[in-house]
């Protein structure tokens, strides 16, 4: 039962349920990486709004070093999103079953690299801290672009602003008082999408739970706390990748 489920999570043929379940795993992971990364480098890396605002503030104040650091983080997020699109399109053109699993496997490898970088943070902090920020931003861009492609721009997992906005919209619909009218040309009643409201609320909760888990794990176990996250992503990606490997040897 577990293998068919994992295969469906990253299958080429998508279903709304598979999109939701994959988003739950990735939202938890994003929350954990974002919170753990903050404890490591004192900077959140999942949302570019804060980074661009920080760049603007320091540009006005003359802090060009911080502006350049923010630009490097922004470009790293952009490169992660581009890399995800490249891998997905490569898998699609190659007719691979793992077109959506490839970015997840790369993310798992990069999380392991983040854990290894941590061992050197204190010795060469001036070098490894900017590198770690860029790596985490790349990971967040990679994951956000992947779930965006999978869900056809309906779901994003690395920042909560959009989710909370959509929750507010649905709550506004939910509490809207529809006055009955007998006019034949009256507009249809306002109805909230309760299913969407439930999914978004759960995703925000999972981001928070992931953040608590990531912060707690990093505080007690250090950079080794990234290994379970990398293992989780590898588990999500391994079934379609194994299917492609078997298909390759079968054709050979």
Q: Identify the residue with better confidence: 135 or 118.
A: 135
Q: Which of 103-117, 176-190, 196-210 has the highest mean pLDDT?
A: 196-210
**95-112: pLDDT as tens digits:** 999 999 999 999 999 998
Q: How many Cα atoms occupy the beta-carbon half-sphere of 62 within 13 Å?
A: 0
Determine the pLDDT at residue 21.
94
Distant-in-sequence, close-in-space partners of 166: CB < 8 Å, separation ≥ 6? 196, 200
Q: Name which of 95-104, 136-145, 179-188 the model is least confident about.
A: 179-188
For the chain, what is the mean pLDDT?
88
pLDDT at 126: 57
Contact between 83 and 106 (Cβ < 8 Å): yes
DSSP 176-196: --------TTPPPPP---HHH
User: According to the model, what pLDDT value does residue 87 have?
Assistant: 95
Span 39-44, mean pLDDT? 82
**pLDDT (0 to 100) of residue 125:** 60
Q: Does residue 226 carry a pLDDT above 60?
A: yes
Average pLDDT score over residue span 109-132: 74
CA distance 4 to 24: 18
**Residue 137 confidence (pLDDT):** 92
Rounded average pLDDT over 140-160: 86
How confident is the model over 231-241, as pLDDT tens digits? 999 999 999 99
């Amino acid at each position: 039962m577990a293998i068919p489920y994992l295969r469906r999570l990253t299958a080429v043929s998508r279903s709304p349920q598979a999109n939701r379940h994959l988003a739950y795993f990735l939202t938890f992971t994003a929350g954990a990486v974002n919170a753990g990364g903050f404890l490591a480098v004192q900077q959140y890396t999942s949302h570019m709004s804060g980074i661009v605002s920080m760049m603007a503030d320091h540009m006005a104040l003359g802090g060009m070093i911080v502006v350049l650091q923010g630009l490097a983080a922004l470009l790293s997020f952009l490169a992660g999103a581009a890399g995800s699109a490249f891998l997905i399109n490569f898998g699609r053109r190659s007719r691979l079953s793992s077109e959506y699993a490839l970015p997840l496997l790369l993310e798992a490898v990069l999380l392991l690299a983040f854990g290894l970088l941590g061992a050197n943070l204190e010795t060469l902090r001036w070098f490894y801290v900017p590198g770690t920020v860029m790596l985490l931003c790349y990971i967040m861009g990679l994951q956000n672009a992947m779930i965006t492609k999978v869900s056809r721009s309906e779901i994003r997992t690395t920042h909560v602003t959009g989710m909370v906005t959509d929750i507010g919209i649905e709550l506004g619909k939910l509490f809207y008082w529809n006055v009955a009218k007998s006019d034949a040309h009256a507009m249809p009643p306002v109805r909230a999408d309760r299913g969407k409201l439930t999914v978004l609320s759960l995703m925000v909760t999972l981001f928070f739970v992931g953040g608590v888990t990531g912060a707690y794990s990093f505080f007690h176990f250090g950079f080794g706390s990234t290994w379970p996250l990398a293992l989780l992503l590898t588990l999500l990606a391994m079934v379609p990748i194994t299917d492609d490997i078997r298909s390759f040897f079968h054709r050979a």
